[in-house]
Amino acid sequence: MIKKYKINGLSCPNCAKNLEKELRKLETVNFAKIDFIKSNLELSFDNEDVAIKDVLNLTAKIEPNATIILKNKKTNNKNLWFNLFCLLSGLLLGCLAFILDVSLVLYWLMFVASALLMGYQTYYRAFNLLIKGIVNENFLVTLSVIGATLVGEHFDGLMVIALYSVGKLLENIALSKSRKTIESLTNIKPEFAVLLNDKQEEITVQPCEIKVGDMLVVRAGEKVAVDGIVESGNVSLDTQSLTGESLPQLVTKGDSVLSGAIVLDGVLHIKATKEYQRSAVNKIVDLIENASNKKAKTETIIAKISKWYSLGVIVLSFIVWGLVWAITQNFNTAMYRGLIFLVVSCPCAFAISVPLAYFSGLGNASRSGILIKWSNYLDVLARIDVVAFDKTGTLTTGEFEIVDVIVKNKNYTTEDILYLASLGEQYSNHPLAKAIVSSCDKKLEKLQEVKEIAGRGVEYQYQGINYFVGRKNQEQKATVVELYCEDALIGEVFLQDTVKQVSLQTISQLNALGVKTVMLSGDNQETVQKVAEQLKIQEAYSKLLPEEKFTQIGKIKSTGATVAYVGDGINDAPSLTLADVGISMGLNGSSVSLDASDVVIANDNPGKIIDGIRISKHTRKIVWQNIILSAIIKILFLTTGALGFTGMLSAVIADVGVTLFAILNSLRALKINQNINRN
């Protein structure tokens, strides 16, 4: 079985990786995974009690400051105030050792006590990992403190551990703040639901207990527990946590509502259409919690480098020491400059800030109603060259309206054509049929002789006369429904798919960003061309079968372009899978397209694609800011330290400073907010 626990107190991603590696070696543990950013520990075992005992013991040895939370009970807890007390006591004792005129023996006692109080956790981690063959930043700092002491730089040695410990404390505070911000994104789950039983009595239940068809009552201030249809009520809903839209959504009888939406006024009676596990809010939370499982390429490279980073730093430190010794002929000077190399080279700025920036970007996108399944797709979205769209339901509403009725026989009026067409179409589920029936104001009679011809239309008898409504002329170039009376054409109803108001703005902004726009549709050429001209789409292809859409995506990719495909139907699934990033519509999209896609637009608004691209570019920019700035600072202080222009204190301050900057800069990925006017 697999269980998830909270693990707090891990000071860096490398610490988490090392602990994870050692946990996997335990015989009682089948699988172990630690997510440093979210402080999650996943364990698979056969016997929980035995496995947890081994996990706690091993964790206490390798990461004594870590806290694993079991069933709301904290174990292996190290009090923050105790650690702060030790740090301040060590600082005070160290200052007194240098200020007071004491005997040599007392000086060394005070010095050693000061160094132990401030860095006992660092030394302990370094020792336990070293005996397991693992070298990380704890060992680098420990080696620097010992080395500085051996060459007579006692004060610098103490300041190394003091500043490193203070830096770690500040890092933990910054990370804790970021984790709380990110965790707030998942606090959209409804805690309860009010169910109406057969006796119309209200019963409070857990959302997971609700079944399809159950009737729910939701009052002002409460969250909708599952997706459903409004049976009664006329209220405003706050859907910002689901769709990113700040304006309240007005709903009334017959409207669909998503779980997680908050009722602002009035009372709603809702009929459940999905169980909680399949409802919108559960899918959103699941995507947020698992989005970082597949890492971005940049993040993966950093992780791979970090694996051998510390050993490489030690080797380079010895090279610096050897070169300086050869030039200066001074052993202590050479060793001191080699130690500066160790201090500056700590990988924390890279190891923490890069995954934190990506996860913050994912959180920001989720808050905007853009659900990105894996962090690597942030990188892909940031370099999109072509966006290919399905037409119906993506750029258009999928709802048709009548634009013209042409009467072919003078014995009939426009009203007659619409009524006769509606008589037959009332038995069809085709979108065109529904549009015609909804336009008819007269009450429709029920017919006895009705025959639906797949892909063609409906044959029926009315008042002893044979009629056919549908399409006999398959060469028609427009979206038209024909009406025949005894095989004679008596009328034509022309319809048009309604273009979403935001689609024009979306295409315009994509073109402005330098992204090529393409439309791939199974509709006829005239309709597709008309929509393409209306939206100013650069290329449009019509009469495409699913496999032909798939082939077209392949052709675009073969040019070297990075392609996104946007669709909502079952027939879009192959293209969504083939594209570099597949984007599906969350409200009306089929379950197949949702599973095949990499990004889900929660409210079916194509304008969210612009937000997704901008958030991705913003996040990637922050990642590279952190990498480049950290690298420049480290190279600068490595060079000046090796040449003797800067000392160890400057090196430590620079290392701590750049790490804190990178962490705080990463949190900016949570803040970007694109205000695009949408309808």
> Active-site residues: which are they?
390
The pairing of beta strand 488-499 with beta strand 480-485:
antiparallel
Provide the angle, in degrees to the nearest 10, between the axes of the packed helices 608-643 and 331-344: 170
For the chain, the helix, strand and coil percentages under 3-state DSSP, each to the nearest 5: 50, 20, 30
Tokens of 109: 């006692």
Tokens of 412: 């009939």
- Dist. CA 628–CA 423, nearest whole Å: 69
Q: Give me the sign of the Cα torsion angle 71, 73, 75, 79.
A: positive
- Dist. CA 589–CA 593, nearest whole Å: 6
- Dist. CA 648–CA 645, nearest whole Å: 10
- Dist. CA 410–CA 654, nearest whole Å: 89
- Dist. CA 282–CA 274, nearest whole Å: 11
The answer to whether 143 touches 339, Cβ cutoff 8 Å, is yes
Backbone angles phi, psi at 600, to 5 degrees: -120, 125
Helix (H) or strand (E) holding 126, with range, is helix 104-130
Smallest CA-to-CA distance from 8 within 130, 125, 173 is with: 173
Smallest CA-to-CA distance from 596 within 538, 636, 549 is with: 549
What number of helices (H) and strands (E) belong to the chain? 21, 27
Smallest CA-to-CA distance from 26 within 2, 9, 5, 50 is with: 50
